[in-house]
């Protein structure tokens, strides 16, 4: 795998490949979403079970039809698509990543139709519609108005949109650290649903159920921090002048703000479940078009 883009290191691609490898090592699968931790101890050992509970909860909101035509928007590495295909559904995946689109094809045995493109730029086949447009933690990366309007236009009669993602609360963040979670403001989402003339078939907030995922992530980074400390200690002892030069270059090319954020991410405990609950609403929206019969 080459991680170069325009003769420079493509850190995003490298990070994505590493993340997939870690997920596969820990859980045996390449899921990239939060877990639902109801009735589970929040530990790394249970991450796979929590992610499976998340998927099963999501499936409960699907239209009651044996075989669905599903558009999986931002479908990650294709783990969800693989499960949907095994249940007899037809799946089209839109994901703007060379790495993820390749993994989608491999994980689905080439049974999914995969488009390596942004949802904003996706063009379906002539007269192609879907029974379900699924946004599983991908909605926050797309302009909300564009996402809802485009998805609505792709629905078949009685088709639905299912959104499961983080939405920001109205609480202000006064810290220099980025608040955990993210997404569009929940107030904006509710207004758009009304403005675009969509029906809320059902909605559910599961913020507290998914929040322990943040604690697991932070503990992982803290372990990485311990490893970095030990490595630095060894390098300073063996190569003191080289490490001084490295630190000088690091401080020169990385701003103080970014260095502080990185330090807090690796050594701190800001990104935890309490702060996640404080600043976010993790919502499941099941939406239908008013034009449905």
| pLDDT at 226 (0 to 100) | 76
Q: Give me the pLDDT at residue 16, please.
A: 57
Q: What does the angle CA 25 – CA 31 – CA 35 come to, to the nearest 5 degrees? A: 105
pLDDT of residue 14: 52
Q: Which CATH class is domain 4-212+272-289?
A: alpha beta
Nearest Cα neighbor of 284 from 209, 225, 223, 192 is: 209
pLDDT at 5: 45
pTM, two decimals, is 0.84
Q: How many CB atoms lie within 10 A of CB 68?
A: 22
Q: In sequence order, what are the beta bridge partners of 73?
A: 94, 135
Along the 293 residues of the chain, how does pLDDT read in single tens digits?
443 344 444 455 555 566 666 666 666 665 678 899 999 999 888 998 999 999 999 999 998 888 999 999 998 888 899 999 999 999 999 998 888 899 899 999 999 999 999 999 999 988 899 999 999 989 999 999 999 999 999 999 999 999 999 999 987 766 656 677 789 999 999 999 999 999 999 999 999 999 999 888 888 777 777 787 788 888 888 888 888 888 888 888 878 877 777 777 777 777 889 999 999 999 999 999 865 44
Alpha helix locations (H) across the chain?
Answer: 11-27, 47-59, 79-86, 98-107, 144-153, 186-195, 207-210, 212-238, 240-253, 256-267, 273-279
């Amino acid at each position: 795998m080459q991680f170069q883009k325009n003769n420079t290191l493509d850190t995003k691609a490298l990070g994505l490949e590493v993340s997939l490898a870690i997920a596969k090592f820990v859980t045996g699968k390449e899921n990239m979403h939060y877990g639902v931790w109801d009735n589970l101890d929040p530990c790394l050992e249970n991450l796979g079970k929590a992610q499976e509970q998340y998927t099963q909860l999501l499936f409960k909101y699907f239209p009651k039809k044996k075989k669905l035509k599903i558009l999986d928007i931002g479908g990650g590495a294709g783990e969800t698509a693989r499960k949907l295909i095994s249940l007899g559904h037809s799946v089209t995946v839109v994901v703007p990543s060379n790495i993820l689109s390749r993994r989608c094809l491999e994980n689905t045995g080439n049974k999914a139709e995969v488009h390596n493109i942004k949802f904003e730029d996706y063009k379906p086949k002539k007269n192609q519609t879907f029974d379900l447009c699924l946004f599983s933690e991908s909605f926050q990366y797309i302009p909300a108005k564009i996402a809802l309007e485009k998805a609505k236009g792709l629905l078949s009669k009685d088709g639905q949109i299912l959104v499961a993602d983080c939405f920001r609360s109205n609480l202000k963040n006064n810290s220099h650290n980025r608040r955990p979670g993210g997404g569009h403001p929940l107030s904006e989402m509710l207004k758009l649903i009304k403005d675009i003339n969509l029906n809320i078939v059902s909605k559910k907030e599961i913020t507290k159920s998914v929040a322990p995922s943040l604690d697991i992530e932070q503990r992982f980074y803290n372990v990485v921090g311990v490893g970095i400390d030990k490595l630095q200690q060894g390098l300073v002892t063996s190569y003191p002048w080289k490490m001084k030069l490295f630190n000088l270059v690091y401080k020169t090319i990385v701003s103080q703000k970014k260095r502080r954020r990185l330090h807090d991410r690796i050594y701190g405990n800001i990104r935890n479940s309490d702060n996640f609950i404080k600043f976010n609403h993790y919502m499941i929206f099941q939406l239908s078009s008013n034009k449905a019969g």
